[in-house]
């Protein structure tokens, strides 16, 4: 992905065409590739692998390798330290995701041209992110914040696009998408074929609503 001077361009151009991202945490490389494959086969375009531990970086690398064969992007998640950006790059991640907003990580991401999706949970954090030109933000933890929080924040910040992650399920995702969340991050649904089928049905429903609307 080419680096952009204006950060709000990082995720523009329909980067998130599919309103679901798979978030994989605590899996072995083999398990993660299987879960990612279920996600891709269900119609999900992007996968995030969290890298809280050195072992998780190997998992990220395995998923990124599988993703390269499909021509899709993989994110390195749970970025809470600047040195993790090195690990993300070495594992061939296309972008990074954080549970919170750290201005040092944002500044280093700008310097490197590595797209970054910071987490926010308050209006103040949204303002800080917008000061850097960021308009794609992670609402976290989304299950605690709730869809009404998103609706409230879209009032003063109509240009901000939210990726809702944290405790999300396919069964409740439509509620968040109806609240103008742009993307929902799902995890446990991809641990089984049945869960992946539920995500496939969710995406079909969203597509049907878009056509119908």
Active site (annotated) includes residue 103: no
Q: Residue 45 and residue 100: Cα distance in Å, rounded? A: 23
Query: Which one from 138, 151, 169, 194 is the annotated catalytic residue?
Result: 138
CB-CB contact of 18 with 43 (8 Å)? yes
CA torsion 164→170→172→175, rounded to 10°? 60
Nearest to 39 by CA among 139, 136, 163, 170: 170
Strand partners, 164: 139, 184
Q: Residue 184 and residue 178: Cα distance in Å, rounded? A: 11
Q: Residue 151 and residue 155: Cα distance in Å, rounded? A: 7
What token pair was written down for 65?
A: 């390798």
- What is the β-pairing status of strands 95-97 and 74-77? parallel
Active site (annotated) includes residue 31: no
Reduced to 3 states (helix: H, G, I; strand: E, B; else coil), residue 203 is helix
Number of Cβ atoms within 10 Å of the Cβ of 178: 13
Q: Which residues are catalytic?
A: 48, 138
């Amino acid at each position: 992905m080419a680096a952009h001077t204006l950060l709000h361009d990082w995720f523009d151009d329909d980067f998130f065409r599919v309103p679901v991202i798979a978030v994989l945490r605590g899996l072995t490389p083999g398990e993660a590739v299987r879960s990612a494959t279920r996600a891709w086969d269900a119609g999900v375009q992007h996968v995030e692998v969290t890298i809280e531990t050195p072992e998780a970086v190997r998992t990220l690398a395995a998923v990124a390798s599988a993703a390269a064969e499909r021509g899709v992007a993989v994110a390195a998640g749970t970025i809470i330290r600047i040195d993790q950006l090195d690990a993300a790059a070495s594992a061939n991640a296309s972008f990074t995701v954080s549970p919170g907003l750290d201005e040092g990580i944002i500044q280093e991401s700008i310097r490197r041209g590595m797209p970054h999706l910071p987490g926010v949970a308050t209006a103040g954090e949204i303002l800080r992110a917008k000061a850097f030109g960021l308009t794609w933000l992670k609402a976290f933890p989304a299950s605690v914040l709730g869809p009404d929080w998103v609706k409230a924040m879209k009032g003063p910040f109509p240009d901000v696009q939210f990726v809702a992650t944290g405790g999300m399920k396919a069964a409740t995702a439509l509620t968040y998408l109806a609240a103008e969340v742009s993307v929902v991050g799902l995890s446990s649904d991809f641990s089984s074929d049945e869960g992946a089928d539920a995500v496939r049905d969710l995406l079909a429903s969203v597509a049907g609503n878009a056509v119908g609307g």
